[in-house]
Structure 1
Amino acid sequence: MNLNNRRGIITGAGQGIGRALALEFGRRGGHLLLVGRQLATLTETARLVAAEGGTTEILVEDLTQSGAVERIAHAVASWSTVDLLVNNAGNVWAGRLELTSNADVHSMIDLNLTAPILLTKTLLPALRQSATESGSIILNISSGIALVGMPFYSVYAATKSGISQFGESLRRELTGTGVHVATVYPGATDTAMMTSQTAGAELGWGRRPLDDVITDLITALEAGEHEINTAPEGRREMQQLNITDPMAVDAALAPGLESLELAVRDHRSI
């Protein structure tokens, strides 16, 4: 796929994967609407994109709030082309299910699953119309947890599995329209979202540098891939085992459950 001169929206653009993708599309001549909750982080992303040669607009928005999707659509309504949507914004709360508040359950579902579905639905007419020129891209950021459900992440895993299946179904629905739907499955990545979690490689949570993850992601997207797995080889072995013998994964994780719970109990970005 040609990623040059894209015009579109990136949610969660203030940090991490969202900011890194904004820089990638910016250096390819993109014009981007950066959406996020913090003006300061979005402003910094915009500055970095400009240094790479791209242009931006900023919209401070909480995607879980009423009317947010409509305000995003209004912000790009005057654009002649909308051929990129990156559904990246997300949050996480880790811990035992019975200790998870109802508010945190709703927060994860609302931001990780409901918001990208509604935003995609609202922007799809513009994406379809723009696809007649150079094709449009819908890029959904899922998680490696959608491929191997990890203990103490049950709600987060549900939302990321949901966005994965949303993308797969929509991809098939849009066959032949020129709208390319891709889903990314990052493993543990060294971003600010992971700073409150201390699980390391010994517990199966070895982190990849953000730059490496983005390089793999962009390379796969340019190659036209739809399912983009950026996990390291060791993690992929567990993902394959989870397909062929899921109970073996249960057995492998069981001895480290107590240590894992301690390591992730403060993992929270809500």
Structure 2
Amino acid sequence: MDLNNKRVLVTGGSSGIGFAIAEAMAGKGARLLIVGRREAELSAAAAKLSALGNKAEFVTGDVTVEADRRRILAEATAKLGGLDVLVNNAGAVRAARLELISEDDIRAMVEVNLVAPILFIRQALPLLREGGDGLIVNVTSAAALTGMPFYGAYAATKAGLARFGEALRRELKGEGIHVITVYPVATETPMMASSKAGADLGFGRESAADVGKAVVEGIEANAIEVSRGGEARAKAVALNRDNPLALDERFMGLKAALEEATRDHRSF
């Protein structure tokens, strides 16, 4: 897809990976509407994006609320004249032993990471069909490919979104709407600020800008997925498929340190 003048909506677009994707798209001439819950942050982000090309718009809203999703799509029609690309990036995470994670936090992850994107896509499909060249980008996580201790509920929501995107891509094939799934590794974002896990525990972090650039490259190449982490991540995914017990043993040696480093990791 050529992003020039494409009408793009990015959820969670004021910071982190969402902003980086929007920034990379702005450099390609996309017309942007970024979405989030904090007006001041959205306004500042939109101003930065506007300086790169077309005027970027913003709208506050909670993607887990049906009325907000409906209003956001109405704003896309009003401010952009329609919609060509929907980027589902808004996310939530809580890491810890399962019995230490509150039911409210588990339900919030399911709502933000899985239910909201599915319902948002369902509501956006009529707009995406109108242009005849639509695109859905779902940002999941490397945890969707390799389950890590203390991230069970989070991994479940991201794996669910990944398989949903795969199924939807096949459902919409030949109908003018493509679906791309993004699998970032640990990234330098506000979401990761409360995690103390570093490269020694398999959480070497890359920049959000690199993720944003890779997503745009994937879009331009009509890829079906964008998977980050390079050869090391690819080997871990292959090992998890071919010899999962070996990966179990690897995590066993890291478990105590990983639990300590991630027990306060929470972002909603």
Q: TM-score normalised to the size of structure 2?
A: 0.96
Structure with the larger RCO, 1 or 2 (CA within 8 Å, 6+ apart): 2
Q: Which runs of 5+ in 2 are unaligned?
A: none
Instruction: Choose from 231, 234, 258 the match for 1:233.
Output: 231
Counterpart of 1:14? 14
Contact map agreement 1:33 1:56 (CA 8 A) in 2: yes
Say if 2:164 is the partner of 1:163. no
Residue of structure 2 equivalent to 1:97: 98
Q: Which amino acid aligns with 1:15?
A: S
Measured after TM superposition, the shift of residue 66 of structure 1 is: 4.3
Deviations 1:65-120 (A, max 9, x none): 34121111221234543101000000100001111111001110111111111110
CA distance in 2, matches of 1:81, 1:63: 18
Instruction: Identify unmatched segments of 5+ residues in structure 1.
Output: none
In structure 2, which of residues 133, 138, 141 is the aligned counterpart of residue 143 of structure 1? 141
Supply the AA of the counterpart residue of 1:177. E
Distance 1:175 1:250 in 2: 37
CA–CA distance in 1 between the matches of 2:215 and 2:8?
18
Residues 181-221 of structure 1: per-residue CA shift (max 9 Å, x gap): 00000011111211111111111111112222222222222
User: Which amino acid counterpart does residue 89 of structure 1 have in structure 2?
Assistant: A
Residues 85-234 of structure 1: pairs in structure 2 closer than 5 A? 85-131=86-132, 135-234=133-232
The alignment of Structure 1 onto Structure 2 pairs a total of residues equal to: 267
Q: How many Å separate the matches in 2 of 1:75 and 1:231? A: 36
Q: Which runs of 4+ in 1 moved over 6 A?
A: none
Matched residue, 1:81: 82
Asked if the contact 1:6–1:25 (Cα under 8 Å) also holds between the matched residues in 2, the reply is no
Query: CA contact under 8 A between 2:5 and 2:29: conserved in structure 1?
Result: yes
2:240 is aligned to 242
Q: Is the 8 A contact 2:17 2:209 kept in 1?
A: no
Query: How far, CA to CA, are the matches of 2:180 and 2:99 in structure 1?
Result: 34
- Contact 2:32 2:57 survives alignment (8 Å): yes
Report percent identity of matched pairs.
45
Q: Secondary structure at the match of 2:58?
A: strand
Relative to the length of structure 1, the TM-score reads 0.95
Residues 88 and 138, structure 2, Cα contact 8 Å, conserved in 1: yes
- 1:122 is paired with a residue whose SS is helix
Whether the 8 Å CA contact 1:128–1:179 is kept in 2: the answer is yes
State the distance in 1 between where 2:82 and 2:256 align.
51
Asked if the contact 2:109/2:157 (under 8 Å) is kept, the reply is: yes
> Does the CA contact (< 8 Å) of 1:25 and 1:54 recur in 2?
no
Contact 2:21 2:213 (8 Å CA) reproduced:
no
Match of 2:26 in 1: 26
Distance in 2 (CA, whole Å) between partners of 1:235 and 1:207 is 12
Equivalence for 1:53: 53
User: 1:32-76 deviations in whole A, cap 9, x for unaligned?
Assistant: 221101111111110111110122222111122341211112212
For residues 212 and 76 of structure 2, the distance between their equivalents in structure 1, rounded to whole angstroms, comes to 26
For residues 81 and 65 of structure 2, what CA distance do their matches in structure 1 show?
A: 27
Contact in 1 for aligned 2:5/2:30 (Cα 8 Å): yes
Question: Structure 1: which amino acid aligns with 2:121?
Answer: T
Q: Counterpart of 1:95 in structure 2: which amino acid?
A: A
Does the 8 Å CA contact 2:83/2:131 hold for their aligned counterparts?
A: yes
